[in-house]
Amino acid sequence: MITLEAVIFDMDGVLTETSRQHYLAWKQLARDLGFDISEAINEQVKGISRLESLEIVLSAGGMGERFSEAEKIELADKKNLIYQSLIKEFTKENLSVGALELLTSLKSNNIKIALASVSKNAQFLLEAMEISSYFDVIVDPREVKHGKPAPDIFLMAAKMLGIKPKSCIGIEDAFAGVESIKSAGMQPIGIGSKAHLYNCNHVYSSLTEINIDTIRKIIYETECCQ
């Protein structure tokens, strides 16, 4: 029988809501380059690394081919400085509703907890929101070869925990993140809307809708329906 041994969390859009700040930072960068982006870009950059997100933003402005690799790094750094100025005041008040309750319950039931975020600012947010101590493993995105939707980051989390992927649940808000969880051989839980996360069987609008029993049931159902 497969039992639940670990829950692997994404950060942005799951443990806290930062998509507005990412969007505003990209918008500012685009404006400085002379074009505007619409909020629709938000969904496209969710779960996607900074440099890959930059490519999406530049293409939206018809500037996909304009910059050298070195210039792109400068632009990404510039966006990051704007983003960091927007999240610098984050505190535990910015934790998603239900996050603390879920983390606490997992911990008291001896379920391992990991973070699999591609954001290089995730560590800062963990500390700012005072939840670092809940995590048994925090994957460093710099160590991950292929970003989401590749399975690498979730596989690395499971490996670092020493737990088989099929005993892990991944929680994600991004289409690419759900793909990453599935290709790692884990069951995904989506946070958001079924319209965006149509690749996920278990989608909830917020963390308040899930608890350890919901998560265990998903693992159990997987086994009995395979």
Where does this chain bind ligand BG6 (CB under 6 A)? 11-12, 22, 45-50, 53, 80, 117-121, 174
Query: Which is closer to ligand BG6, CB of 103 or CB of 116?
Result: 116
Query: Is residue 10 involved in binding Mg ion (CB under 5 A)?
Result: yes
Catalytic annotation, residues: 10, 12
Pull the structure tokens for residue 99. Answer: 């996050």
Bridge partners, 187 (sequence order)? 169
Question: For Mg ion, which stretch binds (CB under 5 A), given 20-28, 46-54, 87-95, 140-148?
Answer: 46-54
Q: Are 97 and 207 in contact (CB under 8 A)?
A: yes
Nearer to Mg ion, 147 or 165 (CB): 147
Smallest gap from residue 3 Cβ to Mg ion (A): 27
Nearest to 5 by CA among 149, 125, 122, 136: 136
Nearer to Mg ion by Cβ, of 47 and 149: the residue is 47
117/2 Cα distance (integer angstroms): 25
Q: Per rule CB under 5 A, is residue 13 in the interface with Mg ion?
A: yes
- Give the whole-angstrom CA distance, residue 113 versus residue 106: 8
Interaction of residue 147 with Mg ion, rule CB under 5 A: no
CB of 143 to ligand BG6, least distance (A): 14
Closest CB 139 distance from Mg ion, rounded Å = 14
Which residue is associated with the tokens 């930072």?
25
> Among ligand BG6, Mg ion, none, what binds residue 156 when CB lies within 5 to 8 Å by partner kind?
none
Cβ atoms of residues 191 and 207 within 8 Å: yes
Alpha-carbon gap, residue 22 to 141, rounded angstroms: 17
User: Are the C-beta atoms of 81 and 212 separated by less than 8 Å?
Assistant: no
Question: From CA 202, how far away is CA 50, in angstroms rounded?
Answer: 27
- Shortest distance, position 16 Cβ to ligand BG6, whole Å: 10
173 binding Mg ion? (CB under 5 A): yes
Contacting positions for Mg ion (CB under 5 A)? 10, 12-13, 47, 173-174
